[in-house]
Structure 1
Amino acid sequence: MWPIYSTVLLIAMLFLRGATTYYRVILGPTLLYLAHLVHQEVQDITFTYPALGGGTMLGSILASYVNRNLKQKLNGLFLQAALTLILSGTVVAVPWINQIWQLALIFVVIGINIGYVIVDGQCLVLRTWDPKTARVLMYLLYVMGSLGRFLAPAVADPFLAMSHEDKAVSKCSQDENFGNKTVYRSEEIATSKFDPAGWSYIIFGIVLFVVGILHIVLGCIKADEKTYEVLSSSDDVVKDKQTEEPLRDVIWILIPLFSYCFCSTASSLLYQDMIYAVAKCSFLDFSTSDAAWVTAVYSIGLAIGRFSGILFARHVKPNYVVFTIVSGALIMMVFMISVARTWPTITWIVSFFYGFFNGPLIPAAINWISEVINVSGTYAFIFALGGAAGTMSLVPSAGALFHLSPFYPIYLMCGVSAFNVICICLIWIAAKMKKIKKSESEHELISKETPQDTYDTIQNHPLQKPNGHVNGE
């Protein structure tokens, strides 16, 4: 039975994960609103996403450094509380910004918080709970992220309906034709009236403020340190956690793992951020409300996929889960490209199942890789770092493709899903080679340290120990 402060700590972690994901995802449904707010085009907004990715990198590296070197000296909950309160004040100010550099600054703050929360939560789970429980909690963290993803379009929808989205301000219109190239842009209407879409930021800014205060309380009682001490002394927790291996021994796993996270996070965020604008502005021709709810359907699929991961975490090996989901995601994108033009309604089906297969991509990989190498210390940042790199490069690319034709980002997502299949194959090969090399090293060590006559006896009688006793006696 967990102590009460451990349960409250887990609840606080889950709420923070959901709230920060909400603010990462709300950028998608309100993309046209933000473009109008700073008097820019959609493609110009997406080119500020490197600021979000850069912030995520900083946050993930900070969390990795704190967990590796400062967890005994620095109160990690106070640091999380400070970041959360800063984020709360920043997002509440969103409706009053009018410059694109201000939006980029907000992206940096959101990114730092997301990067830190993701990595710090993963480290705490992996080093505190036993492997089977950690698998479940890892999926639970991502389920809360899915809840934040679902709430973003659900909360934004009624406010967008009251805002300029249903007026002439942010509708997609064909302004210029250059041969076969159509440029879509947001019409600008000068107004000083408060846009109701801003409430989708203000409401959860208040939620983040409450979560930040809760982290201060938990930090005062040092709930994270007490949880680690109590659960680490429990018989249910594995005492001998993996030691960190030198970079030269794991680099061939980290490189394809980085690429996998690059593709996995980017493909999920690309769909979340772009499907609203794609559904509204492309030949799919969805209404404002339908386009917002397509995003919600994707989030529902994402949540169900991650919840399914919880159900299978204790019974199915993570590598089997990974191979299944990367293949399913690719099939969905091929299906979207092949059928959507003649049957736009297929977008609803693809949105759900693409979310379903994208849901377990990262938690399944973490659970799998944690069985191969230690990713709760120095190498913990690799997941967020790969995801941030994907966000910094692929989201602006999708924005540029959207400028050429609103449906082109879907082709990019298909290519990313295909490359992800290659990445997971490379990880599997590298893990196999590492396992073989480790077995050979252990065999050589036994040969060197054990006298030849005793070694021969062990080989001939595997149940007999060197001291003459037989297992079980």
Structure 2
Amino acid sequence: MKDKDKGITDGSTAKKDDSKKSRIWVATMVGIISLARISHGLFISITGPTLLFLAENVNTDVAKVSYIFSGRSAGILVGAAIFSAVVNRYKEFNPLLSLGIGLGVNGVVLFITPFLTNLWGLVIATTVGGLMFGYLDAGMQAVYLRLWGEKGSRPYIQSFHFGFSVGAALAPLIAQPFLREASLTDSGSTCPDSGNQALESTTVISVPEVNTTAATPEDFYFNPVNWCFVITGTYTIIIAIIMSVLALMNIEGKVASHNVETTESRPEEPLKDVWVFFIPLCFYYFCCVSSEIVYQGYIYVVALCSDLDFDTDQASLLNFTFWTGFMIGRGSGIFLSNYFKPGTIIVCDLIGTTTALTVMSIWGEYIPLVTWLVTFFHGLCVATLYSTGVSWTSQVTNMAVTYIFVYNIGNAIGAMTMMPAGGALVENDPFSVMYLVNGTCAANIVFFGLMALISKKRKQNSVTDILAIKREEHNAGYEKEDSEFDIATSF
């Protein structure tokens, strides 16, 4: 009896130790992916406050240096497609190790960016960084979906996107002291109707005088803004090294071995069965990303140059207000995903963003309080549209491997097309860009409605097919019994 009790105790202790190890491995893996995702936010956001510096660095204007955004978006789309193709072809492929290496490449791109003095060299480097970003974005979400399945991965997907918002909000804070040290001064209007030349002339990066009489190392000026990229690049490379080491330790396998019940096991459907669903899905992400990046990209100019007539400090604070709402939205999404279905969260977000932008379009230009409230509320609601969309579509079909890049199709096309469209509107009437954002929010309700209808029809067809199969099996059973009865009676 004592031996039996001892065996039970030993088994219980072993189970507790096993559970503790599992939690440690899961926390380690989620932690390193979240840290990597922060580096993604830094990579995307650091070019915003330093754009004028980059234009000065390559000796061009802001319009031309903005080609880096189109290159980066194209790279994101290609990178996501490459991950899907590689994982689908090589079944024994270790995705986490390749993600660590890709993150290291991203770090190198960040590190060398301020030292590039040729426009097309900068565009190529940024495109390579975008390619790695797309690969990493698709890869890390695929890891979560594979390990925890559609339902179990919901809070992890939300934390994944929350990490991005942290990095995006940190980038301006990192850049601020170095921009100040570089004596970045604003001495006039930066509104679009001043023209590109005026824009360039109002922002000056002052370079201290150097003594040209002696060629010493002190004579070579190192712009303080360079440190923004050196710091973010170094951080990214360090995280890449840690991720690669953990991949070599087979951390993904260790997590999966303790997580057998929730691992994604559904077979992927052939493209001919899901392509109709993917069309509105791409438009959903087109509108989702456009409403986010156009608003946060141009709200500063709108506040400064429209009838709102904010000063530069107020406009900067308004931009920070958007990111505050965005961070709170993505942070709350981690907890809300445990209590609400993805579809419920998406519907609330879409209604919230469309209502807010409609109010902004009517009264925002004349009532500053409306602009402050809408900016925060729009950031709060739009924050979870992307991540919750991943969880919702994973309910409809398995998106963990081949089709993970589909999210980035609408994402990349939206970033490549809507930012220039917003810029053209800003040139004529700064506040009119709010109508564009309002239109994308309203259109997204239509596209999500189409996705829901197609999903419902797929479920109905699936139920019909299952009933037909059961009916055939039932009839086959009766035929077998009849044949057995005939044989028996013949004797």
> TM class, shorter-chain normalised?
0.7 to 0.9
Corresponding residue number in structure 2 for 1:448: 472
> Which of 199, 214, 217 is matched with 1:185 structurally?
199
Shift in Å at residue 56 of structure 1? 0.2
Shift in Å at residue 389 of structure 1? 1.3
Corresponding residue number in structure 1 for 2:164: 145
Against the structure 1 CA distance between its residues 203 and 391, is the aligned structure 2 distance closer, same or farther, given a 3 Å change threshold?
A: same
Within 5 Å, give how 1:24-423 maps onto structure 2: 24-72=44-92, 74-168=93-187, 171-172=190-191, 175=194, 185-187=199-201, 194-232=222-260, 237-238=261-262, 241-423=265-447
Against the structure 1 CA distance between its residues 192 and 96, is the aligned structure 2 distance closer, same or farther, given a 3 Å change threshold?
A: farther
Against the structure 1 CA distance between its residues 240 and 107, is the aligned structure 2 distance closer, same or farther, given a 3 Å change threshold?
A: closer
Query: Where does structure 2 lack aligned partners over 5 or more consecutive residues?
Result: 1-18, 209-221, 480-491
Shift in Å at residue 440 of structure 1? 1.0
Corresponding residue number in structure 2 for 1:467: none
Q: Deviations over 1:155-175 (max 9, x none)?
A: 233333444542449945854
Instruction: Provide the C-alpha distance between the structure 2 equivalents of 1:143 and 1:189, rounded to a whole number of angstroms.
Output: 35
Q: Between Structure 1 and Structure 2, whose CA radius of gyration is higher?
A: 2
Against the structure 1 CA distance between its residues 338 and 34, is the aligned structure 2 distance closer, same or farther, given a 3 Å change threshold?
A: farther
Instruction: Provide the C-alpha distance between the structure 2 equivalents of 1:310 and 1:4, rounded to a whole number of angstroms.
Output: 19
Instruction: Provide the C-alpha distance between the structure 2 equivalents of 1:354 and 1:31, rounded to a whole number of angstroms.
Output: 25
Note if contact 2:292-2:382 (Cα within 8 Å) is conserved in structure 1. yes
Instruction: Provide the C-alpha distance between the structure 2 equivalents of 1:44 and 1:414, rounded to a whole number of angstroms.
Output: 28
Instruction: Provide the C-alpha distance between the structure 2 equivalents of 1:289 and 1:441, rounded to a whole number of angstroms.
Output: 62
Shift in Å at residue 442 of structure 1? 1.0
> Which of 460, 463, 473 is matched with 1:436 structurally?
460
Shift in Å at residue 408 of structure 1? 3.3
Q: Deviations over 1:419-455 (max 9, x none)?
A: 1111111101111111111111111111112227869
Against the structure 1 CA distance between its residues 328 and 3, is the aligned structure 2 distance closer, same or farther, given a 3 Å change threshold?
A: closer
Partner SS, residue 199 of structure 2: strand
Amino acid in the other structure paired with 2:345: V
Against the structure 1 CA distance between its residues 113 and 27, is the aligned structure 2 distance closer, same or farther, given a 3 Å change threshold?
A: same
Instruction: Provide the C-alpha distance between the structure 1 equivalents of 2:303 and 2:227, rounded to a whole number of angstroms.
Output: 24
Corresponding residue number in structure 1 for 2:34: 14
Instruction: Provide the C-alpha distance between the structure 1 equivalents of 2:270 and 2:321, rounded to a whole number of angstroms.
Output: 43
Q: So what's the TM-score if we normalise by structure 2?
A: 0.83
Shift in Å at residue 196 of structure 1? 3.5
Instruction: Provide the C-alpha distance between the structure 2 equivalents of 1:330 and 1:34, rounded to a whole number of angstroms.
Output: 35
Note if contact 1:15-1:211 (Cα within 8 Å) is conserved in structure 2. yes
Instruction: Provide the C-alpha distance between the structure 2 equivalents of 1:110 and 1:278, rounded to a whole number of angstroms.
Output: 29
Instruction: Provide the C-alpha distance between the structure 2 equivalents of 1:318 and 1:424, rounded to a whole number of angstroms.
Output: 12
Note if contact 2:175-2:225 (Cα within 8 Å) is conserved in structure 1. yes
Partner SS, residue 231 of structure 1: coil
Corresponding residue number in structure 2 for 1:458: none
Against the structure 1 CA distance between its residues 288 and 38, is the aligned structure 2 distance closer, same or farther, given a 3 Å change threshold?
A: farther
Corresponding residue number in structure 2 for 1:460: none
Shift in Å at residue 271 of structure 1? 2.2
Note if contact 1:29-1:292 (Cα within 8 Å) is conserved in structure 2. no
Partner SS, residue 375 of structure 1: coil
Q: Which moved more, 1:123-132 or 1:401-410?
A: 401-410
Note if contact 1:153-1:293 (Cα within 8 Å) is conserved in structure 2. no
Amino acid in the other structure paired with 2:200: S
Instruction: Provide the C-alpha distance between the structure 2 equivalents of 1:409 and 1:173, rounded to a whole number of angstroms.
Output: 13
Shift in Å at residue 345 of structure 1? 4.4
Q: Which moved more, 1:332-341 or 1:201-210?
A: 332-341
Q: Deviations over 1:109-131 (max 9, x none)?
A: 23122212221111111111154
Instruction: Provide the C-alpha distance between the structure 1 equivalents of 2:172 and 2:26, rounded to a whole number of angstroms.
Output: 32
Against the structure 1 CA distance between its residues 446 and 239, is the aligned structure 2 distance closer, same or farther, given a 3 Å change threshold?
A: farther
Instruction: Provide the C-alpha distance between the structure 2 equivalents of 1:348 and 1:163, rounded to a whole number of angstroms.
Output: 30
Amino acid in the other structure paired with 1:90: V
Corresponding residue number in structure 2 for 1:466: none
Note if contact 2:109-2:126 (Cα within 8 Å) is conserved in structure 1. no
Instruction: Provide the C-alpha distance between the structure 1 equivalents of 2:82 and 2:288, rounded to a whole number of angstroms.
Output: 22
CA RMSD of aligned residues (A): 2.7
Note if contact 2:46-2:171 (Cα within 8 Å) is conserved in structure 1. yes
Note if contact 2:67-2:123 (Cα within 8 Å) is conserved in structure 1. no
Partner SS, residue 140 of structure 2: helix
Instruction: Provide the C-alpha distance between the structure 2 equivalents of 1:251 and 1:335, rounded to a whole number of angstroms.
Output: 36
**Percent of paired sites with the same residue:** 28
The size of the alignment, in residue pairs, is: 445
Instruction: Provide the C-alpha distance between the structure 2 equivalents of 1:425 and 1:184, rounded to a whole number of angstroms.
Output: 45
Note if contact 2:307-2:366 (Cα within 8 Å) is conserved in structure 1. no
Corresponding residue number in structure 2 for 1:462: none
Shift in Å at residue 203 of structure 1? 1.7
Note if contact 2:105-2:129 (Cα within 8 Å) is conserved in structure 1. no
Note if contact 2:193-2:427 (Cα within 8 Å) is conserved in structure 1. no
Against the structure 1 CA distance between its residues 415 and 394, is the aligned structure 2 distance closer, same or farther, given a 3 Å change threshold?
A: same
Against the structure 1 CA distance between its residues 77 and 275, is the aligned structure 2 distance closer, same or farther, given a 3 Å change threshold?
A: same
Instruction: Provide the C-alpha distance between the structure 1 equivalents of 2:54 and 2:433, rounded to a whole number of angstroms.
Output: 19
Note if contact 1:244-1:373 (Cα within 8 Å) is conserved in structure 2. yes
Q: Which moved more, 1:81-90 or 1:132-141?
A: 81-90
Corresponding residue number in structure 2 for 1:468: none
Instruction: Provide the C-alpha distance between the structure 1 equivalents of 2:188 and 2:132, rounded to a whole number of angstroms.
Output: 32
Amino acid in the other structure paired with 1:91: L
Q: Which one scores higher on RCO, CA 8 angstroms, separation ≥ 6?
A: 1
Instruction: Provide the C-alpha distance between the structure 2 equivalents of 1:169 and 1:80, rounded to a whole number of angstroms.
Output: 45
